[in-house]
């Protein structure tokens, strides 16, 4: 023990930091929202620096085994969903509500054989060959001139006269400062916005319906993990399930019945099934890699902002995955000789909801409220627990999707800061529709485009002409 320090005491140490770089637009976080924000900003003429804490890009899309979801209008009924799939094959534009850079990335992956969709199109899910995906993102950064700073974590913000002017990074090089004209927080947890002093709430907030129904304030979505197994014979698995249909379940976002899932597998299309009776229920997704499947989702109840919870979650989920793998090998034909291919870092579904100029609510989303400042659409059904009474009583409309307002990307109180990804200004319940990969990419394109326009014009994000932003997004393929 040293001096008077002990558990609970505070140690203060001042560290000097050198200014090492500057850019028109600085994007923090190179996950699903951040990579698209960086590409969009660079394509719109900005000098862009992308900061990422890992040594690769793509976040959960490449390092977490997450699929790309979702591109097409949602239906809650199997028969109606089958009709949507028919339209996807006949006329993709009639049911796809996602365009722009997210669709471009997906098509490039599919054309290279590094992703599988539905009849060659992006439907409910697209699963990828993750390392190919990492290389594609690096290629796209080079194509547009985005500069990268990997292995760097945002630890503080520099605010002058109510505006963000710089960020402080921590890396193997020590503490360093990056200056910028406009910043995009795509860290997922809203790390930059929180350190800059933007107000936020964590998990369930007072505006959530479940809170009004007596739910616990601050409750967050569970931590989770998607793991991969190799040497899986899905053909034998389907043969077994056909004879034991009590083990088969329909996945609710891609409502494929058994025959549809089997035919999709035989065609080499994306398919998803739920299996039960081999330990806790598991979702199984095929991938472009022969014999490799992704399995979802062992969960752990914890706080993604707590290093203690993250540590305990990693330990608990490691044990959980080992037990599930053993159960599958022992009991599910097709998995007898399968091996565990990879178990990624724990995935965080929800932490901070940064306050913005507008708080997007589940009522907005369920009603598909028309926003004059719309910057894109989402189509993922609510994925939170517990489900509010309103949703249980009120089914989603036919061919449902929803609008996302630009104001939810404008950070309150601190100027020159935009939000993208799951930390945008929204309620806990709304985040159950917007936190998935493709929806994060949509807010990333809008934030990156807005940041470039602001850097060029000298306007603040709040002053930006929404009409000019929308015209640019439409020109770049975004569906409003």
CB 416 within 8 A of CB 434: no
Per-residue pLDDT tens over the stretch 189-213 = 999 999 999 999 999 999 999 999 9
| Mean pLDDT value across residues 8-16 | 83
Tell which phi-psi region holds residue 77, choosing left (phi > 0), alpha (psi between -120 and 50) or beta.
beta
- What pLDDT, on a 0 to 100 scale, did the predictor assign at position 255? 83
| Mean pLDDT value across residues 461-480 | 98
DSSP 193-231: HHHHT--EEESS-TTSHHHHTTPPTT--PPEE--EEEES
Compute, in degrees rounded to 10, the torsion defined by CA atoms 180, 480, 124, 189. Answer: 30
Is the pLDDT reported for residue 253 higher than 80? no
Distance CA 217, CA 219 (A): 6
Is the pLDDT reported for residue 303 higher than 70? yes
Highest-scoring range by mean pLDDT, 256-260, 390-394, 466-470: 466-470
Bridge-partner residues for 418, per DSSP? 184, 410
What band does 252 get if pLDDT is binned at 50, 70 and 90?
confident
- What pLDDT, on a 0 to 100 scale, did the predictor assign at position 3? 67
The pair of three-digit structure tokens given for residue 129, joined into one six-digit string: 């060959």
Angle at 106 between CA 104 and CA 107, to 5 degrees: 65
What band does 2 get if pLDDT is binned at 50, 70 and 90?
low
458: preceding bond cis by omega (within 30 degrees) = no
3-state DSSP assignment of residue 387: coil
Q: Strand 227-230 vs strand 248-249: parallel, antiparallel, or unpaired?
A: unpaired
The residues near 236 (Cβ < 8 Å, ≥ 6 apart) are: 333, 334
> How many alpha carbons fall within 13 Å on the CB side of residue 104?
16
Is the pLDDT reported for residue 236 higher than 90? yes
Structural domains of the chain sorted by starting position, each given as residue range(s) with its CATH number in brackets = 18-218+349-480 (3.50.50.60), 223-342 (no CATH)
| Mean pLDDT value across residues 224-251 | 94
């040293």: which residue's tokens?
Answer: 2
Q: What percent of the chain has pLDDT over 70?
A: 99
- The secondary structure of residue 141, as a DSSP letter, is H
Average pLDDT in the chain: 94
Compute, in degrees rounded to 10, the torsion defined by CA atoms 327, 329, 333, 339. Answer: 140
Distance CA 141, CA 51 (A): 12
CB 313 within 8 A of CB 223: yes
Burial per residue of 30-44, b for 16 or more beta-carbon CB atoms within 10 angstroms, e otherwise? bbbbbbbbbbbbbbb
What band does 389 get if pLDDT is binned at 50, 70 and 90?
confident
- What pLDDT, on a 0 to 100 scale, did the predictor assign at position 300? 95
| Mean pLDDT value across residues 84-102 | 96
Is the pLDDT reported for residue 354 higher than 70? yes
- Rounded CA Rg of the chain: 22
3-state DSSP assignment of residue 185: strand
- The secondary structure of residue 347, as a DSSP letter, is B
User: In sequence order, which ranges of 281-337 are alpha helices (DSSP H)?
Assistant: 307-331
Element (H or E) spanning 182, and its range? strand 174-185
3-state DSSP assignment of residue 407: helix
Q: What pTM, to 2 d.p., does this model score?
A: 0.96
> How many alpha carbons fall within 13 Å on the CB side of residue 14?
1
Tell which phi-psi region holds residue 20, choosing left (phi > 0), alpha (psi between -120 and 50) or beta.
alpha
The residues near 183 (Cβ < 8 Å, ≥ 6 apart) are: 25, 26, 27, 28, 164, 167, 192, 416, 417, 418, 451
The residues near 237 (Cβ < 8 Å, ≥ 6 apart) are: 284, 332, 333, 334, 335
- What pLDDT, on a 0 to 100 scale, did the predictor assign at position 1? 46
Per-residue pLDDT tens over the stretch 307-338 = 999 999 999 999 999 999 999 999 999 999 99
Q: Strand 48-51 vs strand 147-149: parallel, antiparallel, or unpaired?
A: parallel
Per-residue pLDDT tens over the stretch 23-67 = 999 999 999 999 999 999 999 999 999 999 999 999 999 999 999
- What pLDDT, on a 0 to 100 scale, did the predictor assign at position 397? 84
Q: Strand 163-171 vs strand 153-160: parallel, antiparallel, or unpaired?
A: antiparallel
| Mean pLDDT value across residues 407-435 | 97
- What pLDDT, on a 0 to 100 scale, did the predictor assign at position 308? 97
Number of other CB atoms surrounding residue 86 within 10 Å:
12
């Amino acid at each position: 023990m040293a001096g008077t320090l002990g558990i609970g005491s505070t140690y203060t140490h001042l560290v000097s930091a050198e200014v090492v770089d500057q850019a028109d637009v600085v994007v923090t976080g190179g996950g699903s929202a951040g990579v698209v924000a960086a590409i969009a900003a660079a394509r719109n003429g900005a000098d862009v620096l992308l900061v990422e804490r890992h040594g690769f890009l793509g976040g959960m899309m490449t390092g977490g085994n997450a699929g790309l979801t979702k591109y097409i209008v949602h239906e809650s009924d199997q028969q109606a969903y089958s009709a949507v799939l028919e339209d996807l094959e006949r006329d993709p534009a009639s049911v796809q509500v996602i365009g722009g850079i997210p669709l471009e990335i997906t098509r490039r992956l599919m054309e290279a054989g590094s992703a599988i969709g539905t009849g060659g199109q992006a439907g409910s899910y697209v699963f990828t060959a993750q390392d190919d995906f990492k290389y594609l993102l690096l290629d796209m950064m080079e194509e547009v001139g985005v500069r990268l700073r990997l292995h760097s974590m945002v630890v503080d913000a520099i605010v002058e006269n109510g505006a963000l002017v710089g960020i402080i990074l921590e890396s193997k090089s020590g503490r360093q400062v990056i200056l910028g004209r406009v910043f995009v927080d795509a860290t997922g947890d809203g790390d930059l916005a929180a350190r800059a002093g933007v107000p936020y709430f964590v998990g369930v907030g007072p505006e959530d319906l479940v809170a009004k129904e007596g739910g616990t304030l601050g409750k967050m979505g569970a931590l989770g993990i998607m793991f991969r197994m190799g040497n899986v014979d899905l053909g034998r698995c389907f043969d077994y399930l056909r004879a034991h249909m009590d083990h088969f379940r329909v996945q609710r976002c891609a409502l494929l019945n058994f025959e549809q899932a089997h035919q999709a597998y035989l065609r080499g299309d994306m398919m998803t099934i739920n299996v039960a009776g081999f330990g806790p229920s598991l979702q199984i997704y095929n991938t472009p890699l022969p014999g490799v499947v992704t399995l979802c989702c062992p969960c752990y109840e914890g706080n993604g902002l707590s290093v203690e919870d993250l540590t305990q979650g990693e330990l608990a989920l490691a044990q959980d995955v080992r037990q599930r793998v053993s159960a599958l090998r022992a009991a599910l034909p097709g998995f007898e000789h399968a091996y565990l291919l990879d178990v990624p870092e724990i995935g965080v579904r929800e932490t901070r909801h940064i306050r913005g100029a507008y708080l997007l609510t589940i009522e907005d989303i369920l009603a598909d409220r028309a926003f004059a400042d719309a910057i894109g659409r989402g189509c993922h059904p609510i994925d939170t627990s517990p489900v509010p009474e309103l949703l249980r009583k009120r089914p989603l409309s036919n061919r449902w999707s929803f609008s996302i307002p630009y104001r939810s990307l404008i950070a309150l109180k601190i100027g020159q800061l935009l939000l993208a990804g799951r930390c945008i200004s929204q309620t806990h319940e709304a985040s159950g529709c917007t936190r998935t990969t493709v929806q994060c990419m949509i807010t990333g394109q809008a934030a990156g485009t807005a940041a470039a326009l602001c850097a060029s014009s000298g306007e603040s994000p709040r002053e930006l002409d929404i009409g000019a932003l929308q015209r640019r997004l439409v020109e770049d393929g975004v569906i409003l």
